[in-house]
Amino acid sequence: MSANLKRRYTLEEYFSLELSSNERFEYWNGEVFCMSGVSENHAQIESNLNLALRLALRERECRVFPANMRIKVPSLPPYRYADLSALCGKAIFAGVGGVDVLTNPALIIEVLSEYTEAYDRGDKFTHYKSIPDFKEYLLVAQHRPHITQYVKQTDDSWRYCEVNEMSARLHLPSVDCVLALGEVYQGVTFPAEPRPNIQLPS
């Protein structure tokens, strides 16, 4: 989340704000958070992911949705924004607050920042799990090549893995395609890692 609008909103006021603005806002128990405005790396990674997924899925009946797509999250109404979402098959929408809201994403991707990482890994992921068709979650770092992947299993548990090599390729079972980290991070400049301060025994 980028910024919190410092007042309490009713749902009706929130819907009015969403319809009258070009910004993206999320609603949480009367609080409204602006989700717009990202770093250069975040924007580049998001663009790369969008392109890579569209190319990988272009010959199949699949859809890739950018960050302005509203996603219905049953346990956290009225809806949330992800950085990207995708599905194969028919996209199903519901009307919420005068806008169309996607109800059946299979894949959800969040590009992490220092302000959103705890939320994306914790509460947001927990609530995303209430989406019946949700099968896979990618958390993409922007300060180094690193992707965390969660895949839903048949017993409703989630299998977890991490990849952090630029040469790595990651299979996405929810949409049955392969994502190359080199493509995800193309054009991204990583900040210099601080040298660890390690005291050796004398």
Q: What is the mean pLDDT of each run of 10 residues along the chain (202 residues)?
A: 71 93 89 87 96 97 96 96 97 95 98 90 96 98 96 97 96 98 96 67 60
* Omega before 78 within 30 of 0, i.e. cis: yes
Do 187 and 51 contact (CB within 8 A), yes or no?
no
Looking at residue 1, its pLDDT comes to 42
Q: Cα Rg for the chain, rounded, in angstroms?
A: 18
Q: Which CATH class is domain 39-184?
A: alpha beta
C-alpha span between 114 and 116 (Å, rounded): 6
Looking at residue 192, its pLDDT comes to 79
pTM of the model: 0.90
Instruction: Quote the tokens at residue 116.
Output: 């959103």
Beta strand ranges found along 72-197 (DSSP E): 80-81, 84-88, 93-96, 99-102, 107-111, 136-140, 147-152, 158-163, 169-172, 177-180
Do 109 and 84 contact (CB within 8 A), yes or no?
yes
Do 75 and 57 contact (CB within 8 A), yes or no?
no
Looking at residue 200, its pLDDT comes to 63
Helix, coil or strand: residue 65: strand
Do 92 and 41 contact (CB within 8 A), yes or no?
no
